Chain A
Amino acid sequence: MRHQGGLIQRVIQTIRGSRGILAGLMVAAGLFALPSFGLAADAAPAVATEYRDIPGIGSRNIVWVIAQLHLLLAGFVLGVPIFAWLCEVVGWKSGEKRYDKLAKEFTKLLTSSYATTALFGGILLFLLIAFYPKLMNYLTDIFFPSFIFYCILFLLETATLYLYWYGWDAMQDGGKKTFHIFLGFLLNLFAFFIMIVPNSWATFQASPVVIAEGTDLQRAWAATWNPTWWPVNIHRLIANVVLGGYICGAYAGIRYLAARNAEERDHYDWMGYVGNFIGVFGLLPLPFAGYWLMREIYQYNQQMGITLMGGFLSWLFILQAMLIGVLFLGSNYYFWLGITHRIPGSEGQYKKPIMAMLVILLLCLGVWMTPHSLVASLEEARKMGGTHHPLLGVFGVMSAKMTVANLMILVTFMSFIMYWRAGKQETATWAKVARAVMGAVLVIAALAVIVLGVWGYFVPAIIRINYFSTSQVLIVLFVMLTITPLTALLLKSARTTTEMVWGRMPPRAGYALVLNAVMVILLMTLMGYARSSSRVHWHIYGVMRDSSQYAFSPALGYAAAFMALNTFLFCMLVAFIFWVATMGDKGKAGYGGGAKGELPHGMPAMAGGSQSLSKLKG
C-alpha cells in the first residue's frame, strides 16, 4: 500500500509540473476514445440486431432495386445460353454457318452480362446480411447445405462459360465441335441448377416447409421442396427464355436501326427475327406456367391466393393483362411486318387474315383487361348497381381470362404459321387435304376452348380449374403439335414463289422489338413485386414476421414508380454492357472510315424501305 501511495503522489506531482500539456492530451484521448463507446455497444449488445437501415432511402427500397436488377440480369444470363446452344446445335447439324455466328453473338452478350450479374448478386447478399441479419441467420441455418452446393455450381458454371466462350473458334471442327456442344449442354445444366437453388430460398419465404428434426441436409431438403418451388422453377425457366429472346431481339433491333451497310442490315434483321421468334416461342406456354403457379399458391394458402387474385394486388393483374397484351400485339405486329416487307408482293394476299387475327386479338385483349370490379365514380357505380357491371362483369373472372389467353396464343401461333408459309406454294398432292385438316383442327379447337370457357361458369371451381382449364391448354398444345409438323411436311416439297428478302424491314420494326423487350422487363418487375408483396407482413410466411418499420405493403402507385425505375435502370445497364461488348467489333469493322462513306451524303441509314437504301441495293 505504501508503495502504491508513493506512486500516486509521484503521478500527482508530475501532473502539477506539466498541467497544460497533460490536460490537452487527456481531452484528445477522450475525443479519440468516443467511438469506442459505439464499438463497445456493438461488441456486447443487449439484444441482437434484427434490422439495419439507411435513413432517407430506406433499406427495403435499396434491396428492392438491387434484387430486381440482379433477378433481371440473372434471367437474361440463364435464358440466353438455352437458345444460344440450340442455335449452335442447329448450325452444327445443318452446316449453316450463320447459326453458329448467331449463337456466338448471343454468347458474347452473355459473357459480358455474366460478371455484372454476379456483381449484383454479391451486392444483394451483402445488403441482405447487413439489413436483415435475423432473417439471414434463420435462412442460413436452414439452407446452409444448399449454400455450399450453390457455390460449387457457380464455380462450375463460370469455368464452363469460360471454356465455352473462349474455346469457340478453337473448337470448330470434328470432335472438338462435339465437345464444344457438350460444353454448351453442361453450361445449361449448371445454369438450370443455379436458377432452381436460389428459387428454393425465395419460394421457401412464401410457402415454407419447416421440420424441427433431422440432419441439416434433411431440413434443407424439406425446405427446398416446398409447394411453390417447382411451379416457380418452370415459370422462371420459360420467362428467362422470353426475356433473353426479346432482349436479344431489342439488341438486334437497335443494331439494325444503326446498321451502316447491307450485310449488317441483313444480319440484324435476321437476328431480330430469331429474337422475336424465341420470345414468342417462350411466351406461348408462359400463361400456362403462370396459371399453374397461381393455382399452387391459392391451394397452399387461401389468404395469399386472394391477396394476389382478389385482394389489393389484383389490380396488378389488370396491368399485367395490358403489358402481355402489348407484348402479344407487338410480337404479332413484327410477324406481320415481316410478311409485308420481307416477302414482296404478299401484302394484298395476307391483308384479310391479318385483319381477322388483329380483331380477334383485340377482342380477347378487351376481355382480358376488363376487371371484375370496375373503376367507377359514385354516380357510375349507382347506375351499374355496384362496381360489377351486370353484363361485362363476367369477363372479370378466370374462366374468361383463361379462354382469351388460349385464343391469343392460338392466333399468335397462326401468325407464325402464316409467316412460315408466306411466299411458298405447296406442291404435295395431299396439300389440299392437309390444309383442310389444319383449318378444321384450328376451328374446332377454338370453338372447344370457347365452349369450355363458357361452361366453366356453370361448374364447381375445382372442375374448371382441374379439368376445363387443363383441357383448354391441352387443346391448344394439340393444335400446335398437329399443325407444326404438318406445315413442316407441306413446306418440305413446297416451291418458293417469292424469296424472303432480309434487311428491308421499316424502322418501326426495330422499335417494335425494343418495345417488346421493355414490356417484358416491366412485366417481370411487376410480377416480382406481386410475388414478394403476397407475403404481406411476413419475411417467411407464417413463420417469421416482419417487425421492421417497413412491415407494410407499399401502395400500388409507389410500387409502380419503383417498377418503372427498375426497368429504366436495367435498360441502361444492359445498354451499357452491350455497348462495351460491341466496342471491339466496331474497332475491327473500321467504323468511322470507309463504311460511313458508303452512305449517300453521310446520312444515317434508314433500316430498310427507304428510297436511299433501295438505290443502294439496286
Chain B
Amino acid sequence: MGGSLGKPIILVAIIYLLLKFVVPNIPGSAPLPSSLIFLYLMLTTSGIVIFATLSGESKDAFWGPIQRFMTGENIGGLQMLRYGVLILFPLLVGWQTYSSTAPSDQPPAENRTIHPAPPGEYTGLSNPVAKTPDNIMQGKGFYAAFCSPCHGGQFDGKGPAARGFNPPPANFSDPTTIAMLQESYLFWRIKKGGVGLPIEGMPWKSAMPRWEVELPDEWIWKIIMGEYDGAHQSPRTWE
C-alpha cells in the first residue's frame, strides 16, 4: 500500500482519537458533538489531498496505491481484501442511508437559535437608570433574589436550581454571552422570558420566567446593571 498512503490514514486516525478521547478530557471541556468531529476530519482529509496532489510524484504516490487496489492491478494477496472492500463499502453506504432515514425515537439534532432577533420596539432602548454604585448594588440585590437561584451567585450559570434545566441557564461570566449583547436585548429577554421568544427561537427551550408580571421595568434595568457588573462584562454599545 505504500508509506504515502499509510501516513494520511494514521494522521486521520490520530486526529479522530484526539477529538473523541483527548479533547473531552481536558479540564473544563466536554465531549464534542459528532457534527464537529466530522467537520474537523473533513478539513484534515482536504489538507491531506491538497498536500498529496501538489506534485506529480506525490500525487502518483498517493493515488497510485488506491487506484491499483481498486482496479486489482498487481495487488497479489490483497485481492480478497479488495473484494471485501468492494462489497462492504456499498453495504456501509446503504446502512448509513437506512439509519439516517429510518424512523427513530431519538429527537433530531438541535438547530436552535439561542439569540433570536428582538422585537422592533426593544431595539432602540437604552438603560434609563443612572449607572451609580447605589443602583448597581441594588441591581445585584435584585439579582441575588430573583436570578441567582438559576444563574448562580457567581454569575456563572451554576445556581442551585440550574441542574434541573436543559438547556442550562446562561453563564454571564462567559465573554461570549451577555458581553455580545446590548442592554435592551437583556431587557427584552428578562421582561418577556421564554414564552416571549419569537418564532425563530424555536423550539422555545427556555425556562426563563416572564418577569414583567413580577418586576417593574426599573428593577429589570437595575438587574441588568448588576449582572454586567457582577460578571465583569460590559454591554455592547456603539459609543
Contacts and interface: CB of A to CB of B under 8 A. Distances in A.
A382 to B, nearest CB: 6
6 contacts: A303-B117, A303-B123, A355-B51, A372-B114, A377-B33, A460-B237
Interface in A320-352: 329, 333, 336-337, 340-341, 347, 351
Contacts of A508: 53
Given A311-B113, A461-B234, 6 more contacts: A310-B117, A377-B106, A381-B110, A384-B30, A387-B167, A397-B180
How many B residues are at the interface, by size bracket? 35 or more
B110 to A, nearest CB: 6
Task: Report, nearest first, the 10 A-B pairs whose CB atoms are least far apart.
Answer: A460-B234, A310-B115, A376-B33, A461-B236, A307-B117, A391-B29, A380-B33, A457-B175, A312-B200, A386-B167
A254 interface: no
A301 B118 CA distance: 11
A10 interface: no
Given A375-B33, A397-B180, A302 B185 contact: yes
Interface stretch (B34-42, B80-88, B134-142, B211-219): B34-42
Contacts of B47: 358-359, 362
Interface in A385-426: 385-394, 396-397
B36 A392 contact: yes
How many A residues are at the interface, by size bracket? 35 or more
A302 B123 contact: yes
Given A301-B123, A340-B55, A306 B118 contact: yes
A329 B46 CA distance: 9
B107 interface: yes
Contact of A378 (B46, B50, B106, B236): B106
A306 B117 contact: yes
B154 interface: no
A250 interface: no
Interface stretch (A28-36, A281-289, A363-371): A363-371
A389 B1 CA distance: 39
Given A329-B50, A391-B23, A396-B176, A374 B55 contact: no
A315 B235 CA distance: 24
B131 interface: no
A398 B143 CA distance: 29
A306 B185 contact: yes
A304 interface: yes
Given A366-B43, A460-B234, A460-B237, A376 B35 contact: yes
Contacts of A379: 106
A116 interface: no
The interface residues of chain B, by DSSP majority, are classed as loop
Contacts of A311: 113, 115-117, 200
Contact of B118 (A299, A302, A384): A302
A312 to B, nearest CB: 4
B188 to A, nearest CB: 10
Contacts of A459: 234
B114 A387 contact: yes
Contacts of B53: 508
A131 B29 CA distance: 53
The interface residues of chain A, by DSSP majority, are classed as helix
Contacts of B44: 362
Contacts of B111: 315, 375
Contacts of A582: none
A427 B31 CA distance: 55
Contacts of B39: 366, 369-370
Nearest to B116: A311
B32 interface: yes
Nearest to B46: A329
A462 B238 contact: yes
Contacts of A397: 175-176, 180
A548 B124 CA distance: 27
A387 B206 CA distance: 13
Contacts of A365: 43
Contacts of B59: 506
A253 to B, nearest CB: 16
A336 B58 CA distance: 13
A542 interface: yes
B102 interface: no
A506 B239 CA distance: 54
Among A306, A341, A351, residue most surrounded by chain B Cβ atoms (within 10 Å): A306
A386 B168 contact: yes
B116 A306 contact: yes
A334 B226 CA distance: 54
B46 to A, nearest CB: 7
A218 interface: no
Contacts of A369: 39, 43
B120 interface: yes
A370 B35 CA distance: 10
A312 B111 CA distance: 9
Interface string B214-228: 000000000000000
Among A303, A314, A366, residue most surrounded by chain B Cβ atoms (within 10 Å): A303
A139 interface: no
B166 interface: yes
Among B43, B44, B239, residue most surrounded by chain A Cβ atoms (within 10 Å): B43
A303 B119 CA distance: 7
A577 B119 CA distance: 46
A394 B114 contact: no
Contact of A393 (B109, B110, B176, B234): B176
Given A302-B118, A373-B112, A391 B30 contact: yes
B231 to A, nearest CB: 12
Contacts of B119: 303
A383 interface: yes
Interface string B168-212: 100000111001101011000000000000001000000000000
Nearest to A311: B117
Interface string B91-112: 0000000000000001111111
A458 interface: yes
A258 B100 CA distance: 42
B133 interface: no
A389 B33 CA distance: 9
B54 A337 contact: yes
Nearest to A386: B167
B26 interface: yes
Interface string B3-14: 000000000000
B76 interface: no
B90 interface: no
